[in-house]
């Protein structure tokens, strides 16, 4: 069925069902490309957004219409590829009604300045419930016993199981779902060992989890339950090598993501008896291909078709959550659930705007005045005014602002705040945030300092401060005796011999090109070289820069134009 026909059939019916008028003003256009509970559409429409529910689209069909939409809601069926995002000229946010985002090319979304969000809390209970159910089923061979009964057999001795009380459960990944599993498994008397680098010790203690390294966990576990995302680090986390470290007769459950277990190694473990039982709700490819038929058919494997979130409650929860989160994000109110940008909430604070502007202007200076291609960039902050700019989110935001300003003059197009860090990495710029800052002399309440290194080994440091609501530059390299200045129009910067008449030649060159000097500042150090900083009313042509370079009394002539 053509997209236009689908839209014509689905959208009016949805509007009539809700008694909404098509003349209502809308704030954003949302596309739901996978089936989702009606509460999602109801929330969007109540907040003034237009929603089209068009499911079953192929990649080309989706590319043909996605350019009209500000938001896209998906579950697991729609594949949001780079091709789709390149066609999404207005797309601001992709909302995944669920946890896993492996059907979304998140790096490409970041490159395009598109936020990606998920709803990690909506299906927590349902997925944890399935995991514990599969742990119990693996302990007592419940599915196999049921099949035996349905075949008319009575085989009590064939299905002797084990108690969970006193057994060691290894929880790999102690996030929301893992912690619910821990709570319920602990209530059944299981000993809990866990691996999660992000889990604080006090939280682990509260849940009765003994934290350990992966190497220490494998030999202890009677049962293993996996609750990690699929990343390069967790791909084939359970493999032949790790299984060899496990107890004979270990039982393994995976309700997280397919690909965390090497399925061929798991089949070998089941065949050898090393693995007494396994239960899988997820697979490396879904539905499982023919090559996994032997694994699926194994009598000691329990398999379910990705049912973790398949409860009526979870479907309602994730549909509601993704709509509410996307409404907040599209209106700039909040950014709960955004996985590829951690600083957007901080970026919306009015008190951060002068610092953000300063960060961009410092970036413009270092990219235009460094004397080479940027290789590394390090940001340091100190103090604040009505907000602490040393907080991690503030520092990450300011780093993005610096990179945006830097890329503005070297990238092929104007970078977004979201895309700037990603694009900088692709261009070979190693950017980082450091803690301490060497505070220059002066009555400063806040400081942002950026150290850069170029590909040819040049180094430069620029430090700025916000006075009131105005960004000022207060130090360049070792020079801080010049009056603080607002970066504006065109900056001409050079070193000159600290003697009478050294700057006159530069002024004469500018006069020849009819360039007016709005402000002039000099910084003298304890040597024979001074730094001159001029704010000009117009840009300096390349020919003028060449003339300045040949005067003989000047060095390191640089210009910066501010957006």
* Catalytic residue of the set 306, 353, 409, 558: 306
The alpha carbon of residue 83 and the mean position of all alpha carbons in its chain are separated, in whole angstroms, by: 20
- Comparing CA positions, the residue from 374, 527, 390 lying closest to residue 460 is 374
Could you tell me which residues are beta bridge partners of residue 467?
470
**Residue 257 annotated among the catalytic residues of the structure:** yes
- Catalytic choice (241, 286, 426, 546): 286
Contact 190, 164 (CB under 8 A): yes
pLDDT in single tens digits along all 563 residues of the chain: 455 445 444 443 333 333 333 333 458 999 999 999 999 999 999 999 999 999 999 999 999 999 999 999 999 899 999 999 999 999 999 999 998 898 999 999 998 999 999 998 889 999 999 999 999 999 999 999 999 999 999 999 999 999 999 999 999 999 999 999 999 999 999 999 999 998 999 999 999 999 999 999 999 999 999 999 888 899 999 999 999 999 999 999 999 999 999 999 999 999 999 999 999 999 999 999 999 999 999 999 999 999 998 999 999 999 999 999 999 999 888 888 999 988 888 888 889 999 999 999 999 999 999 888 899 999 999 988 889 999 999 999 999 999 999 999 887 777 889 889 988 998 999 999 987 676 656 788 999 999 999 999 999 999 999 998 899 999 999 898 899 999 999 999 999 887 788 899 999 999 999 999 999 999 987 767 899 999 999 999 999 999 999 998 899 999 999 97
Residue of 111, 257, 320, 380 marked active site: 257
Domains identified in the chain and CATH numbers: 3-121+314-330 (3.40.50.720), 124-303 (3.40.50.720), 341-471 (3.30.1330.90), 488-563 (3.30.70.260)
Token pair of 96, please?
Answer: 């995944």
Is there a contact between 429 and 377 (Cβ–Cβ < 8 Å)? yes
Q: Which long-range contacts (CB under 8 A, 24 or more apart) does 198-207 make?
A: 199/174, 203/179, 204/174, 207/179, 207/182, 207/183
pTM, two decimals, is 0.71
Classified as helix, coil or strand, 149 is helix
Token output for 413: 């197009």
Residue written as tokens 């050898």? 272
Give the separation between CA 30 and CA 72, rounded to whole angstroms: 6
Query: Is 96 part of the annotated catalytic residue set?
Result: no
* 200-231 as b/e: b if 16+ CB within 10 A: eeeebeebebebeeeeebbebbbbbbbbbbbe
Is 13 one of the catalytic residues?
no
Q: Which helix (H) or strand (E) holds 143?
A: helix 142-150
User: Going by DSSP bridges, is the β-strand pair 275-280/250-254 parallel, antiparallel, or unpaired?
Assistant: parallel
Question: What would you measure as the largest C-alpha separation in the chain, in angstroms?
Answer: 108
DSSP β-ladder status, 223-226 and 250-254: parallel
């Amino acid at each position: 069925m053509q997209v236009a026909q689908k839209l014509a059939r689905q959208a009016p019916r949805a509007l009539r069902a809700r008694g909404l008028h098509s003349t209502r003003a809308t704030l954003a256009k949302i596309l739901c490309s996978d089936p989702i509970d009606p509460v999602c559409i109801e929330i969007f429409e109540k907040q003034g957004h237009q929603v089209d529910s068009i499911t079953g689209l192929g990649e080309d069909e989706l590319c043909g219409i996605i350019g009209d939409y500000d938001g896209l809601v998906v579950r697991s069926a729609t594949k949001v590829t780079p091709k789709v995002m390149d066609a999404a000229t207005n797309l601001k946010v992709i909302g995944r009604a669920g946890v896993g985002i492996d059907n979304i090319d998140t790096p490409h979304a970041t490159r395009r300045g598109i936020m990606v969000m998920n709803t990690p809390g909506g299906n927590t209970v349902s997925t944890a419930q399935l995991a514990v159910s599969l742990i119990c089923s693996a302990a007592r061979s419940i599915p196999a016993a049921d099949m035996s009964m349905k075949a008319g057999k009575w085989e009590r001795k064939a299905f002797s199981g084990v108690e969970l009380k006193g057994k060691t459960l290894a929880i790999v990944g102690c996030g929301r779902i893992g912690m619910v599993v821990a709570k319920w498994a602990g209530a059944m008397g299981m000993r809990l060992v866990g691996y999660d680098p992000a889990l604080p010790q006090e939280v682990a203690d509260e849940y009765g989890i003994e934290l350990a390294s992966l190497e220490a966990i494998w030999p202890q576990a009677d049962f293993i339950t996996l609750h990690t995302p699929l990343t390069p680090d967790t791909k084939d986390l359970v493999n032949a090598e790790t299984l060899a470290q496990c107890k004979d007769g270990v039982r393994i459950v995976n309700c997280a993501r397919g690909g965390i277990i090497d399925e061929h190694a798991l089949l070998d473990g089941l065949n050898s008896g090393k693995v007494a039982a396994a239960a899988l709700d997820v697979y490396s490819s879904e539905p499982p291909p023919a090559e996994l038929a032997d694994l699926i058919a194994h009598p000691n494997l329990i398999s379910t078709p990705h049912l973790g979130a398949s409860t009526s409650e979870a479907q309602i929860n994730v549909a509601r959550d993704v709509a509410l989160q996307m409404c907040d994000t599209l209106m700039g109110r909040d950014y709960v659930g955004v996985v590829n940008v951690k600083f957007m909430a901080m970026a919306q604070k009015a008190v951060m705007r002068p610092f953000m502007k300063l960060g961009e202007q410092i970036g413009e200076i270092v990219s235009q005045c460094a004397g080479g291609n940027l290789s590394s960039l390090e940001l340091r902050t100190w103090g604040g005014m009505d907000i602490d700019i040393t907080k991690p989110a503030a520092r990450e935001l300011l780093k993005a602002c610096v990179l945006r300003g830097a890329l503005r003059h070297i990238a092929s197009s104007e970078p977004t705040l979201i895309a700037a860090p990603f694009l900088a990495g692709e261009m070979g710029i190693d950017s980082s945030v450091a803690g301490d800052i060497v505070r220059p002399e002066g009555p400063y309440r806040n400081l942002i300092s950026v150290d850069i290194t170029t590909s040819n080994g040049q180094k430069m440091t620029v430090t700025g401060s916000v006075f009131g609501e105005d960004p000022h530059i207060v130090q360049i390299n070792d020079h801080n005796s010049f009056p603080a200045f607002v970066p504006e129009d065109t900056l001409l910067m050079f070193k000159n011999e600290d003697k009478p008449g050294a700057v006159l030649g530069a002024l004469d060159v500018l006069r020849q090109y009819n360039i007016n000097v709005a402000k002039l500042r000099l910084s003298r150090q304890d040597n024979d070289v001074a730094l001159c900083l001029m704010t000009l009313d117009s840009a300096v042509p390349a020919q003028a820069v060449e003339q300045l370079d040949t005067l003989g009394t000047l060095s390191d002539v640089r210009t910066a134009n501010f957006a």
